[in-house]
């Protein structure tokens, strides 16, 4: 009898599940064809055929000439984008939407032909009469999702955090304009450097990156306050994580680097005008494309290593006005405050995307754009000036002697959106 009751219950549950109402999906293909022409007054540290611009290169003198000075330019159609939005699918009370997005990209300076690169790939779940939604897959990092107003490819980096990562994100509507966001993330495309160069293994053998933030929206105002926490094991990619104790037995040493990066974002919109501002105090923020790093504070008697992160402040303020004819501008500033503890033998690993001697930098990007239906033409001037260190670093990873270097970049972009 009990066996029959169990079978009947299973059939009832299965029948109820399969009886759920199912609604089909809607598909929307989108993308754009984008071309960039850029010119610089000196050599720059940049990626994607110099379109993703970090910083000007330092002075390099030879026989009285600066080898990094001089005009240079490029004309490329990289970052042309294709995407697919999926929406409208429902199974019972659960709604499922998704996005797949890719663009053409050069993964190294030796690449000749661009390849198709995955940018985003995620699904989003929500339920009727439920204030909770889930995002699962590769999407914008919660700290980097709000970008400044500009048309250049780097979108404000390294003055604005820039990162897309695989993640599980929970968004909760708390009512009265308040919201909560919690994320668990895995670092993938945007990697830090360390003893073995750039590698995701520093985080693969640590704990997941975690984010917790709150938001408030009222009319044209939007505010966000959040904290990003990262755990890593920098020496897990070498044999230094295995040591022998007094009895000549091998044991594992778990030396963790834990960092905390709080940030604040503000936005105000009224009519065709929008103002944005973001500020982050980052610890070891290389995975966010910030000019940061970390180092060794001490090698301990038990075989463990105590790490110390570089602290960096990166901020921007930007505005946009207009619809058919738009004017935009971003002002960005970043400054290194040094490591939280003294370094051991000046052992420090910094973001290798730009010159590791940069102490602080400023950027201004006035832009005008004409939107002719789905066709856009923009002209942008990018003024970037950076302070480079000279000689040796002090105990906190900073320089006492510095000099400034400036670069002028001119950008013309055309984009046809479909």
Quick check: 15 pLDDT over 50?
no
Looking at per-residue pLDDT, the higher value among 329 and 15 belongs to 329
pLDDT for 187 = 86
203: buried, middle or exposed (CB in 10 Å: 19+, 13-18, 0-12)?
Answer: buried
**3-class DSSP state of 166:** strand
Whether the pLDDT of residue 10 is over 90: the answer is no
What average pLDDT is seen over the chain?
Answer: 90
What was the pLDDT predicted at 248?
58
Please say if the pLDDT value at position 207 is more than 90.
no
- Average pLDDT of the residues in 276-290: 96
- Of the pLDDT bands very low, low, confident and very high (cuts 50, 70, 90), residue 233 is confident
Write out pLDDT tens, residues 119-166.
999 999 999 999 999 999 999 999 999 999 999 999 999 999 999 999
Q: Residue 224: CB partners within 8 Å, gap ≥ 6?
A: 146, 213, 214, 215, 263, 264, 265, 266
Q: What is the pLDDT of residue 151?
A: 94
Alpha helix locations (H) across 163-304? 201-204
- Residue 273 has a CB neighbour count (10 Å cut-off) of 12
User: d(Cα 121, Cα 145) in Å, to the nearest integer?
Assistant: 15
Between 207 and 409, the more confident residue is 409
| Cβ contacts of 245 within 8 Å, gap of 6 or more | 251
pLDDT for 368 beyond 70: yes
Residue 195, helix vs strand vs coil: coil
Is residue 417 within 8 Å of 32, Cβ to Cβ? yes
Flag whether the pTM goes above 0.85: yes
Distances (CA, A) of 144 to 94, 148, 154, 226: 28, 10, 12, 11
Range name among 40-49, 208-217, 252-261, 276-285 with the lowest pLDDT average: 252-261
| Choice between 197 and 167, residue whose per-residue pLDDT is larger | 167
pLDDT digits (tens, 9 = 90+) for 295-322: 999 988 877 889 999 999 999 999 999 9
Looking at per-residue confidence, does 13 or 263 come out higher? 263
- Name the residue among 55, 61, 245 with its Cα closest to residue 157: 55
Q: What pLDDT, on a 0 to 100 scale, did the predictor assign at position 14?
A: 47
Q: How far is CA 20 from the centre of its chain?
A: 40
User: Taking Cα atoms as reference points, which of 21, 60, 19 lies closest to residue 43?
Assistant: 60
Instruction: Give the closest residue to 333 by CA, choosing from 358, 356, 350.
Output: 358
The CATH number of the domain covering residues in 22-417: 2.40.160.10
Could you state, in order of their start, the residue ranges of all structural domains in the chain? Answer: 22-417
Q: ∠ at Cα 223 (222, 224), nearest 5°?
A: 130
On the question of a cis peptide bond just before residue 158, with omega within 30 degrees of 0, the verdict is yes
**pLDDT band for position 18 (50/70/90)?**
very low
Count of Cβ atoms closer than 10 Å to residue 22 Cβ: 10
For residues 50 and 337, what is the distance between their CA atoms, to the nearest angstrom? Answer: 28
Whether 348 and 341 have beta carbons less than 8 Å apart is answered as no
């Amino acid at each position: 009898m009990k066996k029959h009751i169990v079978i009947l219950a299973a059939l009832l549950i299965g029948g109820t599940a399969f009886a759920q109402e199912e609604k089909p999906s809607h598909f929307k293909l989108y993308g754009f064809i984008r071309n960039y022409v850029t010119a610089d007054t000196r050599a720059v540290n940049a990626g994607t055929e110099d379109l993703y611009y970090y910083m000007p290169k330092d002075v390099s003198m030879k026989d009285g000439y600066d080898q990094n000075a001089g005009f240079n330019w490029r004309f490329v159609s990289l970052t042309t984008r294709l995407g697919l939005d999926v929406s409208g699918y429902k199974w019972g009370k659960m709604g499922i939407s998704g996005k797949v997005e890719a663009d053409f990209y050069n993964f190294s300076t030796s690449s000749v032909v661009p390849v198709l690169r995955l940018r985003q790939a995620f699904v989003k779940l929500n339920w009727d009469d439920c204030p909770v939604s889930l995002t699962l897959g590769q999407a914008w990092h919660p700290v980097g999702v709000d970008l400044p107003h500009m048309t250049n490819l780097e979108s404000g980096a390294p003055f604005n955090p820039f990162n897309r990562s695989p993640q599980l994100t929970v968004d909760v509507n708390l009512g009265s304009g308040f919201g909560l966001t919690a994320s668990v993330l895995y670092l993938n495309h945007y990697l830090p450097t360390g003893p073995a160069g750039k590698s995701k293994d520093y985080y693969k053998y640590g704990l997941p990156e975690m984010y917790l933030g709150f938001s408030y929206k009222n009319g044209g105002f939007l505010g966000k306050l959040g904290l990003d926490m990262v755990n890593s094991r920098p020496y897990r990619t070498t044999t230094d994580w295995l040591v022998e104790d007094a009895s000549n037995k091998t044991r594992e040493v778990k030396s963790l680097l834990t960092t905390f990066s709080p940030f604040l974002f503000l936005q105000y919109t009224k009519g065709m005008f929008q103002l944005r501002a973001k500020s982050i105090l980052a610890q070891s923020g290389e995975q966010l494309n910030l000019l940061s790093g970390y180092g060794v504070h001490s090698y301990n008697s038990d075989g463990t290593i105590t790490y110390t992160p570089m602290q960096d402040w990166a901020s921007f303020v930007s505005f946009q006005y207009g619809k058919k004819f738009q004017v935009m501008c971003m002002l960005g500033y970043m400054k290194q405050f040094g490591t939280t503890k003294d370094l051991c033998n000046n052992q420090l690993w910094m973001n290798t995307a730009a010159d590791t001697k940069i102490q602080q930098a400023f950027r201004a990007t006035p832009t005008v754009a004409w939107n002719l239906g789905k066709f856009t033409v923009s002209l942008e001037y990018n003024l970037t000036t950076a302070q480079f260190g000279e000689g040796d670093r002090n105990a906190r990873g900073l320089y006492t002697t510095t000099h400034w270097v400036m670069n002028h970049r001119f950008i013309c972009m055309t984009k046809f959106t479909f």
